[in-house]
Amino acid sequence: MRINQLFMTTSNSNPLITDQEIYGKLTAIFHEIFEDRTIVLRPETSEADIAGWDSFSNAALIAAIEKEFAIKFRTAELQELHDVSSFAEMIRAKLQRLA
């Protein structure tokens, strides 16, 4: 399945970031946090799929994602992050609000 371009646009309809770019950045973050370059992220990838994804690594993931995308998650939002697609959707929504 090919990742489609993100629907986030400016008034002139130019995309600001694509799903592919979001997943690429997330993949780099996961590789760094888990020190495993073999991780391949899919939308359904969750804690159960990655060895070592626990509360401590999750905190590191959140911090790295916030820094990379220049966003902040609210505490209540963290409870909604169950898999990679939920991370991507939340990132997309936050970036869209910043645009």
Q: Which residue has the higher pLDDT, 53 or 16?
A: 53
Report the DSSP beta bridge partners of residue 83: 46
Distance CA 3, CA 12 (A): 22
**Residue 13 structure tokens:** 């309809």
**Cβ–Cβ under 8 Å, residues 81 and 87:** yes
Whether residue 1 is predicted with pLDDT greater than 80 in this model: the reply is no
Whether residue 82 is predicted with pLDDT greater than 80 in this model: the reply is yes
* Domains assigned to the chain: 19-98 (1.10.1200.10)
Whether residue 9 is predicted with pLDDT greater than 50 in this model: the reply is no
Whether residue 3 is predicted with pLDDT greater than 70 in this model: the reply is no
Buried b (16+ CB within 10 A) or exposed e, 50-76: beebeeebeeebbebbeeebeeebeee
Predicted model pTM = 0.82
Whether residue 14 is predicted with pLDDT greater than 60 in this model: the reply is no
